Amino acid sequence: MKGDYLVTRRTVQCAIIFGICFIYFPTRIVAQQAGVQTNHVAQIRTLAKQLRWQTESGRKHYEAEKAELTRNVLSEVDQYITETFVPDSVTAEQVQSGLNNLLGYTKGLGIQNVAFLANLPKGDFLIVGIDLWRGGAAINEDYICFRAYADIGGKFVHVAGTENLVASDSFLVGVNARALEPPPIAGEFWFLSWADVPPQSPYTIAIRLYAFDGKKFRTIWAPQNIISASIDTAVQVGPGGVFTVNQMPTWTSQDIVHGQYAVSTTGPKKVREWKTAR
């Protein structure tokens, strides 16, 4: 009986210790992860503020440091993505929402980030379009780029990226993107991207077609800028690798010209065109 009592008591003690460890260590890990994320958020917010100036001294600091500040923000974003999102369970919507919150972008601001998940022969990837708000109150000099992250050891690790997207030496703002399904080349990820060329009204839109092969991005198509009634309606992507560009022939036009394109391995080709009233 005494031996049975000792075994029972030892079993209970072990169970209590195990229970404490089970609760304590995961909680501690979660707290550490939250602390790391908080540090990245604070650092990004501090750096991002320096990319927007309101005074003459702020402008001088911005002009002198914007390249380095931009690199530092992107580096922090890379680390944030690696330490925040789990490849097996995250959705593209969660990544997009997380990046918007990270950079302080709310609905109606006209600035957003985009995200896609891509399963390719070379592995599983996260592809994001990042719009860094830069410049003065009335001067847009946003830095827009796409970055790819590979699932390596259960974490998203940065593996490739584009340079800043510009159009005719003009900075862009308000990145949009849609995937082409299916891609013209099997095993790659193709997507259309477009953004506003401020400050014209009606909108001037720059359009790009990109492909990602698991190692690098390449530009498939970079047409001339178009004039559009709005950013949201400038491009419509449909199934089967078909998309439509909706543009105004002139600044004062009351017509909208709709050009429908089919995409092949060599790029887009216009297959249909029609007009509607604006």
Of residues 113 and 27, the one with the higher pLDDT is 113
Q: How many domains does the chain have?
A: 2
Task: Output b/e per residue, 97-108; b: 16+ Cβ within 10 A.
Answer: ebbbebbebeee
- Indicate the residue among 84, 112, 130 that finishes a domain: 84
Give the per-residue pLDDT at 45: 85
Instruction: State the average pLDDT for the chain.
Output: 85
Give the per-residue pLDDT at 38: 67
Do residue 115 and residue 189 come from a single domain? yes
- Indicate the residue among 84, 99, 116 that finishes a domain: 84
Largest distance between two CA atoms of the chain: 98
Mean pLDDT of 24-28: 38
> Would you list the DSSP string of 185-233?
STT-EEEEEEEE-TT-SSEEEEEEEEEE-SS-EEEEE-PPPEEES-STT
Q: What is the 3-state secondary structure (H, E, C) of 7-57?
A: HHHHHHHHHHHHHHHHHHHHHHHHHHHHHHHHHHHHHHHHHHHHCEECCHH
Q: Judge whether residue 246 has pLDDT over 80.
A: yes
Q: Judge whether residue 21 has pLDDT over 80.
A: no
Give the per-residue pLDDT at 140: 81
Mean pLDDT of 3-12: 42
Give the per-residue pLDDT at 157: 98
- Residue 194 structure tokens: 């477009």
Query: In terms of residue numbers, what domain contains 116?
Result: 90-278
- Residue 120 structure tokens: 């390719």
SS3 label, residue 62: helix
Identify whether the C-beta of residue 147 lies closer than 8 Å to the C-beta of residue 62.
no
135-136 vs 52-53, strand pairing mode: parallel
Do residue 144 and residue 255 come from a single domain? yes
Do residue 144 and residue 207 come from a single domain? yes
Mean pLDDT of 78-102: 95
